[in-house]
Amino acid sequence: MDTFDIARSTAIVTGANTGLGKETAVGLAVLGARVVMTSRDPDKGERARREVSERSGSDRVECRTLDLASFASIRAFAHGVLADHAEIHVLVNNAGLTLSKRSETAEGHEATFGVNHLGPFLLTTLLLERMQASAPARIVNVASDAHRMSRRGMTWNDLGRTRRYRAFAVYSESKLANILFTRELARRLAGTGVTVNACHPGFVNSEFGGPDDTSRLMSAILRPTARLIALSPEKGARTQIWLASSPEVGDRSGAYYHRCREKEPSAAARDAAAALRLWELSETLVGG
């Protein structure tokens, strides 16, 4: 493509079997994109694929298995999608989690940091060469205003949270990592035709933060509140769909958005030295 056209694009959306990811897949399919959904569970993924195809009226929707808590799964997914798709124009790093108790990924990394940052980092870097060859192309990282809670920046001396684990603090730091990753990646991609931006979807009433991911106490607090004030997944997905498709942001890269408007992230998220340090550390941790 000489100019970006979502209707002629191939778009990958992670965590697309539910919530924001599923609505993003629907939105991009409605716009004409060929959509590659991902899901940890093949059965849930197939059910979601059928729903997305039916709701969008598109037969160009597929779903592949991807577990961001496993580097082997990420590499297998990337190998398969690169073999089957000559071009990749959009990557929406949507999948994420929050855990009430410390857990580890297959490679032994703290799971929230692993799934929310290291997994997307590895996936993106594995697909980057193909996306550059397919340019113009776009990467959208779903972050959160929760990153503002990490005022002091990354906990460099204990990213694995082996000394003290507080669920929301760990989640907030992983979202800070999303924005730092976005800014450093944008710097590296300058002039390539591939842009990368981050967004805050808002407080969304979805399965994220439900009983599978958080403690019963947190669910008991969040669920009633969500029903009263939270956005629907459809509304929450609007900004990431817009970033993935709109001509308005065709030349913007390295920015942070909420409600389809650019928003300044925290001072910690604007730290260029921290962004570079996180990139270099991430390369080491994923075996890059």
* CATH code of residue 257: 3.40.50.720
Angle between helix 19-30 and 42-56 (nearest 10): 40
Same-domain pairing of 95 and 116:
yes
Q: Which residues of 33-44 are buried (b: 16+ CB within 10 A; e: fewer)?
A: bbbbbbbbeeee
The total of structural domains in the chain comes to: 2
Identify whether the C-beta of residue 13 lies closer than 8 Å to the C-beta of residue 28. Answer: yes
Task: State whether 85 and 140 are in the same domain.
Answer: yes
Helices 119-133/167-189 angle, 10° precision: 20
Is residue 92 one of the residues assigned to a domain? Answer: yes
51 lies in some domain: no
| Residues carrying an active site annotation | 171
Do 80 and 118 belong to one domain? yes
pTM > 0.85: yes
Residues 129 and 183 in one domain: yes
Is the same domain home to 152 and 269?
yes
Enclosing H/E stretch for 45? helix 42-56
Segments forming the whole domain that contains residue 132:
66-201+240-286
Same domain, 141 and 229: no
In a domain, 12, yes or no: no
Give, for all 288 residues of the chain, the pLDDT tens digit: 678 999 999 999 999 999 999 999 999 999 999 999 999 999 999 999 999 999 999 999 999 999 999 999 999 999 999 999 999 999 999 999 999 999 999 999 999 999 999 999 999 999 999 999 999 999 999 999 999 999 999 999 999 999 999 999 999 999 999 999 999 999 999 999 999 999 999 665 555 444 344 444 444 545 555 555 456 878 889 999 999 999 999 999 999 999 999 999 999 999 999 999 999 999 999 996
Q: Do residues 84 and 77 touch, judged by C-beta distance below 8 A?
A: no
CB atoms inside a 10 Å sphere around CB 101:
9
